[in-house]
Structure 1
Amino acid sequence: MTIRVLVVDDSGFFRRRVSEILAQDPLIEVIDTAADGREAINKAKMLRPDVITMDIEMPVMDGISAVREIMKDTPTPVLMFSSLTHEGARATLEALEAGAMDFLPKRFEDIARSKEEAILQLQQRVKAIARRRPRLASRPASAPPPRPVSPAPLRPGRTEAPAAATERRSLPRRSGKSYQLLAIGTSTGGPVALQTVLTRLPANFPHPIVLVQHMPGTFTSAFAARLDGLCQIRVKEAEDGDALRPGHAYLAPGGRQMLFEGRPGSARLRIMDGNDKVNYKPSVDITFASAAKTYGGRVLAVVLTGMGADGRDGARLLKDQGASIWAQDEDTCVVYGMPQAVARAGIATESLPLPIIGEAIVNEMAG
C-alpha cells in the first residue's frame, strides 16, 4: 500500500521539488499540494493523507497554526521543513509542541553529504512517520511544577500511551545497583520524549545526566534552554570542559561529539568535531562508548524513540561493563527504530512505556 502525502509550501518551486523527490519512491504517492496553512487544513479534511509535509512560514496561515488545527480535527503525521537558524529552531520546537512528529532542514544540502543521501533521508522520514497515526495533542503525564519560564512547553502529539495501558504497567523492580551517570539517547520524536522524561526528575536528582538528541547545531542551544525552563533539574547545551554535576543535564551540541575524560566523580566533558565518516553528529554510540570507558557499569542508559540503530553498539559496550540498559516500548515511540535495535539485540533489560520512564529512573537511581 502506498503512502499518500500532501505537500504544503508557499513556494511553487519547493512544492514541485519535494513532490518529485517523493515520487521517486514507489511506496510514496503525492496526492496533492497546498500553498498555505488554511488550504492545508481543508485538504487534510477532504483527502485524509497519510503524511503531510509542512513549511513553517506561509501567508494566510503559518505552518504552526495549521498543525494545531489539523491535530484537533484530523490528526495526521506531519514532517516540518525548517531553516537552520535560531529563529527557525524556536519555530520548529513550537511546531513539535503543536503536534508535528519530525522536521528536516529546508535546504536539502544541509540534510546530508550528497544529493542522493538527502533524497533517501527525506523518503525514509516520510515512510517512518507514516506508520504512526497521531492522537489528539495532549500534555505529558503530570510532573513536578516547573520553574517559571516564558516559552510554552512542548505537548506531544502522540507519545502518550493509552491510559489503561499505562496503568497496567508497573514500575520495574529496583536492581539495587550503584550509579554515577544517567545517559539518554534519542532521535525522531525525541524532543517531546525527553521533555516527558526529564520533567519527572526532581531538582535534587543525585547524578549527572547526558543527553544525545539527533539535531542540527543551531537547534540544540534553543532546545536546551527550553528544557531548562520546564524541568526541575538544570539543562544546558554541553560545552568543552564542563564538569559533570548532580541534578544537571548536558545536551550534546548538534554537529559535534560528546565524550568524557577523567575519573568518575570528577569527570569532565570533551566536545569534539569527530570523524566526518560518522553518520550522526552527535552520536549516541560514541557518547555511550565513552561512558563505558569512564564509568564502567555505573550507568543507566536509556534509548528513546528514533530512526536507525544509533545507540545499539554503545549500549552493548555499556552492558558488557555491567551497566543497565532500558529502551522505550514500541507502542509509545514515534519511530521504533533505535529502541528496537537495542531490544532485538538482547541488550535492553527493560522495555518501558514513555509516560513511566521518568518515574522509573527516579525509582531506580534515586529511590
Structure 2
Amino acid sequence: MACRVVVVDDSGFFRRRIAEILNADVGIEVVGTAANGQEAIKLAKELKPDVITMDIEMPVMDGITAVRHIMADTPCPILMFSTLTTDGAQATLDALDAGAMDFLPKRFNEMAGDEESAKAMLRRRVRTLARSRVRASTPGTTARPAPGGTPARPSGPSATPPPASGARPAEQVSKASDINPGKLKSARAVLIGTSTGGPVALQEVLKHLPKTFPLPIVLIQHMPASFTPAFAERLNKLCQIEVREAANGDMLKPGLALLAPGGMQMLLEGGSATRIKITDSEPGTIYKPSVDISFQSAVAALRGQVLAVVLTGMGADGREGARALKGLGAKIWAQDAASCVVYGMPAAVAEAGLADDILTLTEVGPALVKGFC
C-alpha cells in the first residue's frame, strides 16, 4: 500500500512541485493539498494521511499552529519545510516542540548537492516517517504507531553479532532505578548522539540534570549550521546545566554541555585536558556532524572512559563509534523503540548487541542523575 501524503504550502507552485516529486515514487501517493494551516487541519481529519509536509509561514493559519492542532486531534508524522536562517531555525524548533517529526530546507539546492539527490532525499524522508512511530502531543510520552506503520529500522545493513559482554537484549528495557553507579564510576564524560526527533529528546534528557552535574557532556545532533546556535541557546535557557555550541579549543568541564556545530565535525583530543577540535568534513561524509566520528575520537582522547548514549534518529550513525568505545570498556545506552520518533540509530546499536542498557526517553535523564550524582 502506498504512503498517503498531504502537502501543505501557500505557494501553488511549491504544492505542485512537491506533489510531482512525491508521486514519481510508486510507494507514495499525494492524496490532498492545502494552502494554509486551517485547511491542513481539515484534511488531516478527513483523509488521515500517513505523512503531512508542512510549510511554516502561511496566511490564515501558520504551520506551527496547525501542527499543534493536528498532533492534539489526529496525530500523524509531519515534515516541516523551513528556510535555513536564524528566524527559520527558531520557527523550526518551535514546530518540533509542537510535535513535528522532521524538517528539510525549503529550497531544494540546500538539501543536497544536486536536484536529483534532493528529490531522492525528500522521498526517502517521507517513506521513513510513514514507517515511524508518532510522538504523542506531549513531549516525552510513549509513542504510538502511525496508521499501518511500524518502527523505522536502520537504512543500511545492520550487523547482528552475539551481544557484547554485559549487553542487554534489545527487547529488555531498563529503568533509572536499575542503573548501578558503580559500573559508571570510570566514566569521564557523557556523549549523546541523535538525529530525527533529537531536539525534543535532548530537551527531555538534559532538563533533569542539576547545575552540579559532575561530568562534561558532548552533544551530537544532525542539524544544519544555521540551526545549532539557536538550538544551543534554547537548551541553555531550558536547562540548569550550561549548554552552548562548541568552538575550537573548548575544554570539557563538569556541568557543561557542548553541542557540535552543524555542517562540521566535532572531535575530542586528549592531553593534559580534553579539548574540542572542530574540523571540516572529508568529501563524501554523509552526516555533518557525525555521531560515529565524534564517538571514535573519544576512543583515543578518553580511552573508552565514557558513557555513550544513542537517542532517536534515522539510519545507523553512532553504531560503529559505539562499537569502538565498547571495545575499550565504555558503557553504552540506547533509547527504546516505543519512545523514539524514529527507531533507527538506537536500533542499530541495540541489534548489534552493544547496549548495556535500553531506556525509555523519560528515564534517560533520571538514569544519568542516578548514575553520576
- 2:343 maps to what in 1? 336
Matched residues in 2 for 1:135 and 1:347: separation? 26
Structure 2 portions without partners, runs of 5+: 146-172
Given that 2:140 and 2:339 are in contact with CA atoms closer than 8 Å, whether structure 1 keeps it comes out as no
- 1:124 maps to what in 2? 124
Which residue identity does 1:68 align to in structure 2? R
Q: What are the within-5 Å matches in structure 2 for residues 1-367 of structure 1?
A: 1-134=1-134, 136-140=136-140, 169=175, 171-174=177-180, 175-263=183-271, 266-364=273-371, 366-367=372-373
Given that 1:182 and 1:207 are in contact with CA atoms closer than 8 Å, whether structure 2 keeps it comes out as yes
Secondary structure of the 2:314 match is: coil
TM-score w.r.t. length of structure 1: 0.90
Secondary structure of the 1:65 match is: helix
Measured against aligned partners, the alpha-carbon deviations of 1:154-183 in whole angstroms (never above 9, x if no partner) come to xx9879xxxxxxx99453331253110100
Given that 2:174 and 2:359 are in contact with CA atoms closer than 8 Å, whether structure 1 keeps it comes out as no
Please report how far the alpha carbon of residue 297 of structure 1 lies from its aligned counterpart in structure 2 after TM superposition.
2.1
CA RMSD for the aligned pairs? 2.1
| Runs of 4+ residues over 6 Å off in structure 1 | 156-159
Which residue identity does 1:109 align to in structure 2? N
Number of aligned positions between the proteins: 346
Given that 1:315 and 1:347 are in contact with CA atoms closer than 8 Å, whether structure 2 keeps it comes out as yes
Please report how far the alpha carbon of residue 135 of structure 1 lies from its aligned counterpart in structure 2 after TM superposition.
5.1
Given that 2:143 and 2:339 are in contact with CA atoms closer than 8 Å, whether structure 1 keeps it comes out as no
Secondary structure of the 2:22 match is: helix
Given that 1:67 and 1:98 are in contact with CA atoms closer than 8 Å, whether structure 2 keeps it comes out as yes
Please report how far the alpha carbon of residue 24 of structure 1 lies from its aligned counterpart in structure 2 after TM superposition.
1.7
Please report how far the alpha carbon of residue 17 of structure 1 lies from its aligned counterpart in structure 2 after TM superposition.
1.2
Please report how far the alpha carbon of residue 340 of structure 1 lies from its aligned counterpart in structure 2 after TM superposition.
0.8
Which residue identity does 1:316 align to in structure 2? R
Matched residues in 1 for 2:369 and 2:56: separation? 37
Secondary structure of the 1:346 match is: coil
* Structure possessing the higher relative contact order (Cα contacts under 8 Å, 6 or more residues apart): 2
Given that 1:21 and 1:119 are in contact with CA atoms closer than 8 Å, whether structure 2 keeps it comes out as yes
Please report how far the alpha carbon of residue 346 of structure 1 lies from its aligned counterpart in structure 2 after TM superposition.
1.3
Matched residues in 2 for 1:306 and 1:96: separation? 14
Please report how far the alpha carbon of residue 113 of structure 1 lies from its aligned counterpart in structure 2 after TM superposition.
1.8
Percent identity (aligned): 60
Matched residues in 2 for 1:169 and 1:242: separation? 33
Matched residues in 2 for 1:260 and 1:27: separation? 42
Matched residues in 2 for 1:331 and 1:286: separation? 27
